[in-house]
Structure 1
């Protein structure tokens, strides 16, 4: 598990491979995204380009059937995990990847 608090728009190398014994990883967040969007990317070895993980964008506007913000996503991919926060104004959000 790795944890990062974002207080500005940035790209974070979570330092984890997307592969795990269970075959998946999970990202969750708590706090204010400041109107921004979190998105998961993975990057293969040797400086390969970062590739967005499908359906991995999270924002306060993305809600479940009860109208509550979706603050967790489970994903399957390969390569090093990156998390990008973009479009935020004064965010204060803690992100966990495990």
Structure 2
């Protein structure tokens, strides 16, 4: 399972070195630690294409589930290489994983 530890905003999306598509049809992004008030987002890049955000693939500290717990994972479906970005953060320290 690829992981990255983020301690600052990313200047550009960071590659996780894996393909978004899987036999089950989806991947899961999760994080632990603090986003530092920033926005964590999934991006993908198909062969020869640009790196683009995956729709509905953002996590921010204010996102909570129906029980009021902070959302720390999301499921996404896409194709191409997986990238992540963290923007708008102040002193983040989070470990991000995709499986």
Which TM-score bucket, shorter chain as reference?
A: over 0.9
Runs of 5+ consecutive residues of structure 1 not aligned to the other structure:
none
Tell me whether 29-38 or 48-57 shows the greater mean CA deviation: 48-57
Q: Distance in 2 between matches of 1:63 and 1:53?
A: 20
- Equivalent pairs counted in the alignment come to 97
Matching of residues 9-20 of structure 1 within 5 Å: 9-10=9-10, 11-20=13-22
Q: Distance in 1 between matches of 2:3 and 2:53?
A: 20
- Report the equivalent of 1:6: 6
Among 32, 35, 49, the alignment partner of 2:37 is: 35
1:67 to partner: Cα distance = 1.1
- Report the equivalent of 2:62: 61
CA-to-aligned-CA distance 1:3-34 (integer Å, 9 cap, x gap): 11000011310111001111111100000000
> What TM-score, normalized by structure 2, do the two folds share?
0.94
Secondary structure in structure 1 of the residue aligned to 2:85: strand
Q: Distance in 1 between matches of 2:89 and 2:38?
A: 4
Among 17, 21, 24, the alignment partner of 1:22 is: 24
Structure 1 ranges of 4+ moved more than 4 A: none
RMSD over aligned CA atoms reads 0.8
